[in-house]
Amino acid sequence: DTGVSQDPRHKITKRGQNVTFRCDPISEHNRLYWYRQTLGQGPEFLTYFQNEAQLEKSRLLSDRFSAERPKGSFSTLEIQRTEQGDSAMYLCASTRTVANTGELFFGEGSRLTVL
């Protein structure tokens, strides 16, 4: 399967711990997005990269959240000092910028449960 892959699929952690999620986009895609989805809501934009540059961050992305895409390929999303309110599904998506159509290809997500 050459789609977007995310790891781990499910993470359970205690409040105050740090967690890191990894996303591997479709290989020829230069844009990579992170979204967060909570129960009963649609995906909410967090941040996106074009190649290795982080071009936009949502105000939802507090200073406890950091994302990187060091070589313009895979990306990591780290949450420091997790809180129960961070419990959600974290979605990664990728696309190519040709024609800027905006069609995103999503991974299956990483579900975070903070106890």
Residues that bind other proteins (CB under 8 A): 3-4, 31, 33, 35, 40-45, 48, 50, 55-56, 91, 93, 100-109
Cβ proximity to other proteins: between 3 and 8 the closer is 3
Cβ proximity to other proteins: between 82 and 107 the closer is 107
Distance CA 16, CA 79 (A): 10
Minimum gap (Å) between residue 36 Cβ and other proteins: 11
Minimum gap (Å) between residue 64 Cβ and other proteins: 21
CA torsion angle for 107, 110, 78, 28 (degrees, to 10)? -10
Give the H or E element holding residue 65: strand 65-68
Cβ proximity to other proteins: between 18 and 41 the closer is 41
Beta bridge partners of 94: 32, 105
Tokens, residue 55: 């071009």
